[in-house]
Chains A and B, each alone.
Chain A
Amino acid sequence: MKLKRITGVIVILVMLLACPSVAHAADTDIAPLACPEIGHHQNVTNHTSFFMAGSLGKFWVSPGVTYTGNASHSTTVTGTVYGGADAEFLNFVRANVAGSLATSHTVKESATLSWTNTSNTTKWVQLGVRGHEFDYSRYDIVAHCQRPDLLVRYGCRYSRYGETGRFAERGDV
């Protein structure tokens, strides 16, 4: 009897350590599903976008003046991806973040790029691209843990592959 009680405590502790994300799951017959279905999963979190400047300097434009690029400026903007970017990663983020996402883009002004400073203060223009920063993770759910006595799913086994980085999107800014 004493052995069973101790064992019970150990089981709970082990589960807390091994599956922290589901440690709060209710200990009832109708506990919420705590992990995705078995299979392959990917997701993107903490996504933000920002301006990624090229190497060319800023051009400051006075109020009322129009700046026109004459299809000759070009610059390459390169993002950095920790862990590399394979085809699966690029396919997923292009479908879920931005279709033209890449780790590097050479951007070139178009002949029609023209911008008028309609404000009352001097503003700058600079060749660059829209950048994206996010965390990417990939994992496989290979099994669900179960407590046989309650028939409640408590967690899952998974392997994960994560990337964090900055990425460039093609397009005028």
Chain B
Amino acid sequence: MAAMMVVLFLLMLVMGCSESESSDTAPQVNSTGSVSDWSQGPTTPEALKAYVLSEEQPVAGFRLGAFLGMGEVIGEGTISVDTSIPLSEHAAYSVTFLCNPDRNVPYSIGMQKDGDERLMGYEEGCSGSLASLTMPSALLPDATDVVINAEPDGQVIAVVFEVIQEEEQ
């Protein structure tokens, strides 16, 4: 009788303290993306200029100033900047650009004056999305060109405006 009680107690104990197992697997992260702005948005410099002009505030903290130039580059090239327009002391160059994702190559955008180039930014591949780079004119006063390097056959359209910090208003 005592032995049966002991066995019964053991059975209750084992059943009462059991735990189902969980297992672990190394986590993974998957990323997917889609952009189609090139096909849906402005694909000519003129259309891109109209887009920028239609924006109330293309660059946060700045108001739009004078239009300075626009163009398209395939591979490597420059877009002339209108140097006849005097920029205010605290103005900045704002380059709004769009690349063709069908020619998905890395590209860089900068400005130059008399062969002195100042790189503004570099994208690792063409996402086909609109973006802007804004650089204080004091970093390269009287710049003459926007320089785009999308070798070997990248296609980039860009417009360049003067923008002025809103505090100046």
**Chain B residues with CB below 8 A from A54, complex form:** 31, 33
A76 engages B23 (CB within 8 Å): no
Interface size on B, residues (CB 8 A): 56
Q: Is the interface of B mostly helix, strand, loop or mixed?
A: mixed
Chain B residues close to A by CB (< 8 Å): 2-3, 6, 9-10, 13-25, 27-35, 37, 41, 55, 58-61, 92, 96, 106, 110, 118-125, 127, 129-136, 139
Assembled-state Cα–Cα distance A55/B30 (Å): 9
Chain B, Cβ-Cβ closest to A75: B33
Instruction: Provide the residues of chain A in CB contact with B120, threshold 8 Å.
Output: 61-62, 65
- Can you report 28 residue pairs joining A to B where beta carbons are below 8 Å apart? A3-B3, A7-B6, A11-B13, A14-B14, A18-B14, A56-B35, A57-B123, A58-B123, A62-B120, A62-B135, A64-B139, A65-B135, A68-B134, A69-B129, A69-B131, A70-B58, A73-B129, A74-B33, A80-B29, A112-B60, A114-B60, A131-B29, A145-B16, A156-B17, A158-B19, A164-B24, A164-B25, A166-B29
CA distance A164 to B55 in the complex (A): 45
B27 touches A133 (CB 8 A): yes
Q: A114 near B19 (CB under 8 angstroms)? A: no
**Closest residue of chain A to B138, judged by CB?**
A64
Interface residues of A, Cβ cutoff 8 Å to B: 3-4, 7, 10-11, 14-15, 18-19, 52-62, 64-80, 82, 111-112, 114, 122, 131, 133, 135, 137, 143, 145, 155-162, 164-166
CA distance A111 to B60 in the complex (A): 9
Most chain A CB neighbours (cut-off 10 Å) among B6, B14, B27, B135:
B27
Docked-complex contact B132 and A18, CB < 8 angstroms: no
Separation of A15 and B134 alpha carbons in the complex (Å): 69
Q: Which chain B residue has the least Cβ–Cβ distance from A69?
A: B131
Look across to chain B and name the residue whose beta carbon is closest to the beta carbon of A76: B32
Alpha-carbon distance between A152 and B9 when the two chains are bound, in angstroms: 15
**B residues within 8 A CB of A157?**
15-19
Q: Which residue of B lies closest to A7 (CB)?
A: B6
Q: Tell me which of A53, A72, A111, A162 contacts B22 (CB under 8 A).
A: A162
Which among A11, A67, A79 is the interface contact of B29 at CB below 8 angstroms? A79
Inter-chain contacts of B10 with A (CB < 8 A): 10-11, 14
A62 to chain B, nearest CB (A): 5
Closest residue to A66 on the B side, CB-wise? B134
